[in-house]
Structure formats: C-alpha cells, structure tokens
Amino acid sequence: MPKSKRNRPVTLSKTKKKGREHKENVVNSIRDAVEKYDSVYVFSFENMRNLKFKEFRERLKSSSRFFLGSNKVMQVALGRSVADEIRSGLHKISKLLRGDSGLCFTSLPKEEIQRLFDEYEDYDFARTGSTATETVELKEGPLDHFTHEMEPFLRKQGMPVRLNKGVVELVSDFVVCEEGKPLSPESARILRLLGIKMATFKLHLICRWSSEDFEVYKEGLEDSDVESS
C-alpha cells in the first residue's frame, strides 16, 4: 500500500484560534476515517431535520461515520487535486462536495448502503420559504378543528375568521398556499395547525470511493465535474 499522506501539514484560513483548532480537528478526524473505513460516500440532503438525521446516524454508528459542515474544510481534508489528495482518487470525491452535502465513511457493503439511503425518508411540516407541494384551500364556513381561543391568532395569520356562537368560522374561502409557490411564515404556521406535512427529509447518494474503484450515482452530473485522472 502506498504511504499515507494524511499527516501532511495543512494551512487553513486565518481565523480565531478556536475556529482554526476546530477545523484542524475535523481535518484530522476525516483523515483518520479514510484509514479506518473501507469506502466513503458523498451524499446530499433536502429538508434537513437534525433530529431525524441523528436517528439515521445512530442506526449506522457501529459501522459508519458521518461528517457535515464546511465543504471547503472537508475538501481540504481529502485533498482537492491529485497533488494533495491523501489517497489516490479522493480528489474526485472533493469535487462533488457541493451545496447541501456531507460525507459517509463506512465498512458496510455498497448494496447495503444504497438500500439504507434509498429507503430512508421522513415527513415533516414545511418551513417558511419551502415550496408548497399542493394547493390548500379552506372553504367558507365553520372550522370545527380550531377552538374559539385560536380565533385571534388565526386572524393574525390573515385568515378571514370570526366567532359565531363560540365556533371559529371562515367568512369567505381562503387559500392557505398554492402548489409550486414558496410558503409565507403565515402559511407555514397554518399548515402546521392543520396537520399538513409538505416537507420530506431525504438523503441522496452522490458518489462512492474505495481503494479499488470510484462510482458516480447522482444523475445529471457531467463528465467535466470529475477529473478522469
């Protein structure tokens, strides 16, 4: 096996000491993981939910390790070119660390990792700015699922409501959100009250590296995104 380059000193950006030490710790931890695990994956995520991700990570903690954070720091740890990569081919992984992404180091077979990632998804309430996945419209009339104490709050969210003999009532039809449009803070709050979940927390495998091979999974990645060397 070629001599490991993981101990090569790295110069990180000039920051406060605590920030620099944290980055150096991340770099060292990633380089340790390269030596410890059989393969490394880049994955992307949508609608990240920290608690749900923690649960997913806990399921794999005996065989895998995950890293989320600064893509630049993770790229530095792996090496961003053939000249500074710590193992042959790892610079290809670095090039695909973009946007909302992370690293998964594992000793599990690739078929098992692909199955776990493909099967995992969790539904949650959408946040402000998320794109509505459907149009939600409430019709004029009583809103039996809201108590009378909620009437002032609903009015503050822009809903045309009133109390009629202690029952919250819509005085006209009201569109909470429209499919394909971003959710306002008010829309997100109303959807939560209605119990309507529009966000799906999902993980997507982008690519895989091992000492034997390198694979790109994510469709739409051009050849120019990865050096052939």
User: Which pLDDT does position 188 carry in this prediction?
Assistant: 94
Instruction: Give the residue among 189, 187, 185, 178 at the shortest CA–CA distance from 132.
Output: 178
Note whether 142 and 43 are same-domain residues: no
Q: How far apart are the first and last CA of the chain?
A: 19
Q: Is residue 86 part of a domain?
A: yes
Note whether 88 and 173 are same-domain residues: no
User: Which pLDDT does position 4 carry in this prediction?
Assistant: 54
Q: Is residue 1 part of a domain?
A: no
Q: Is residue 74 part of a domain?
A: yes
Q: How far apart are CA 151 and CA 190, in angstroms?
A: 12
Whole-model pTM? Answer: 0.68
Residues 6+ apart with CB under 8 A from 32: 6
What are the structure tokens assigned to 101, written together? 């992404």
User: Which pLDDT does position 11 carry in this prediction?
Assistant: 53
Question: Containing domain of residue 101, as a range?
Answer: 17-122+201-221
Q: How far apart are CA 77 and CA 71, in angstroms?
A: 10
CATH number at residue 169: 3.90.105.20
Per-residue H/E/C for the chain: CCCCCCCCCCCCCCCCHHHHHHHHHHHHHHHHHHHHCCEEEEEEEECCCHHHHHHHHHHCCCCEEEEECCHHHHHHHHCCCCCCCCCCCHHHHHHCCCCCEEEEEECCCHHHHHHHHHHCEEEECCCCCCECCCCEEECCEECCCCCHHHHHHHHHCCCCEEEECCEEEECCCEEEECCCCECCHHHHHHHHHHCCCCEEEEEEEEEEEECCCEEECCCCCCHHHCCCC
Note whether 189 and 118 are same-domain residues: no
Domain count, the chain: 2
Note whether 58 and 155 are same-domain residues: no
User: Which pLDDT does position 13 carry in this prediction?
Assistant: 53
Q: How far apart are CA 136 and CA 85, in angstroms?
A: 51
Q: Is residue 227 part of a domain?
A: no
CATH number at residue 51: 3.30.70.1730
Note whether 113 and 35 are same-domain residues: yes
Q: Is residue 22 part of a domain?
A: yes
User: Which pLDDT does position 17 carry in this prediction?
Assistant: 54
pLDDT tens-place values along the chain, 229 residues long: 455 555 555 555 544 555 788 888 889 999 999 999 999 999 998 777 787 888 888 988 889 999 988 899 999 999 888 888 888 889 998 989 988 899 999 999 999 999 999 888 888 888 898 899 999 999 999 998 889 999 999 999 999 999 988 899 999 999 999 999 999 999 999 999 999 998 888 889 999 999 888 999 875 444 434 443 3
Q: Is residue 97 part of a domain?
A: yes
